Amino acid sequence: MEDIKLVKIENCIFCKSSEYKIYDSLDGWEISECRSCRYIFTNPRPSDEDLQSFYDFDYFKDTRHHDKFFNSDGSVKSNVEDYYNRIKDIEKWFSTRGKLLELGSAHGDFLYKMTQRGWETYGIEISVEAVELALMKNNLKIFNGTFEDFETDKKFDVICMYQTLEHVKDPKYVIEKAFRLLNKNGILVIEVPNVKAFDLRISKKRKWLSYDLPRHLSHFSPSFLKKRLLENSFTILETDLYYPEFVLKLFNWQHDNKRKAVDKINTEPMSNNENAIHEMLKDHTTWKGSALKKFSRLFPGWKFTIIAKK
């Protein structure tokens, strides 16, 4: 950290208050909490220039991401993730497909899946290496930069960010810009680590993974993020608190319902024949899934997803 220039946040990004307290610390980094609006943020943090160095190619090869993106021999994985939950969370709100923008697209695997299903997709990614891999793997041209730098005249039906909002310098601006770029009745999907998760209280490794310091500049709770979305004229459609590890083991959860539904998803590219278009994916709730959701209210898992409508 000696060679890293640190920037101290004097005023809360959301409410501009200068009153904050130490929330937690880990690996030499401190996390602050605004006394006024309860925004939780890494403070101090690396400068913009130094922060970029934390997103080189090795970022996707560390212990947090290696198994998702790379094989055991170090080669890049092909697209094997089915993204069932993400597809369902989006398509259940629509009768037809439209334009989708993903912030933090990584190698473009999810965008590739949605393109196959008939969505007109766009992506933004800060990592140069990830953008190059997205072109190599999936023939996707993803904008290399930040949401702040992204300029477009387009309006989107879906803007989604999975494990991304915690990385941005100004989440308030991102939420406001997302609202402006959405069509009427368009949806915003945000998935972030839950700073109030039960798993963080009982697992040091989970805390290290979820904090991901100093890359994670913000640390969100469901109540805080919902309040900020409502302040920006969004309507909350759904909040999924996910499940802690001990509940998954207790129920011996094998994703049986998920697998049955995934088998129905056609993974072949879209055809010009309108009759070949995939059906929109909808919810298939089982008693086991309903029971797990009730448990998650008492023992929220390490991440949560909020879906909001303009």
Counted domains in the chain: 1
Per-residue pLDDT, averaged over 112-139, amounts to: 93
What are the pLDDT digits (tens) for 204-246? Answer: 999 999 999 999 999 999 999 999 999 999 999 999 998 777 7
* Host domain of residue 263: 47-267+278-309
- Nearest one of 117, 136, 47 to 262, comparing CA atoms: 117
CB under 8 Å to 23, separation ≥6 — which residues? 31, 32, 33, 40, 219
Q: Which residue has the higher pLDDT, 190 or 293?
A: 190
Instruction: Confirm whether 141 is domain-assigned.
Output: yes
Instruction: Confirm whether 6 is domain-assigned.
Output: no
Q: Does this model's pTM top 0.75? A: yes
The per-residue pLDDT for 276 is: 47
The per-residue pLDDT for 182 is: 98
Distances (CA, A) of 134 to 78, 138, 164: 11, 5, 17
What band does 286 get if pLDDT is binned at 50, 70 and 90?
Answer: low
Instruction: Confirm whether 79 is domain-assigned.
Output: yes
In this predicted structure, the answer to whether residue 267 has a pLDDT above a threshold of 50 is no
Whose tokens are 């950290």? That residue is 1
Q: How far apart are CA 104 and CA 88, in angstroms?
A: 19
Instruction: Confirm whether 189 is domain-assigned.
Output: yes
Instruction: Confirm whether 143 is domain-assigned.
Output: yes
Instruction: Confirm whether 15 is domain-assigned.
Output: no
Instruction: Read off the CATH number of the domain in which 165 is found.
Output: 3.40.50.150
What band does 298 get if pLDDT is binned at 50, 70 and 90?
Answer: confident
Instruction: Confirm whether 60 is domain-assigned.
Output: yes
The per-residue pLDDT for 210 is: 93
Instruction: Confirm whether 179 is domain-assigned.
Output: yes
Q: How far apart are CA 212 and CA 206, in angstroms?
A: 10
What is the dihedral sign for C-alpha 136, 141, 144, 146? negative
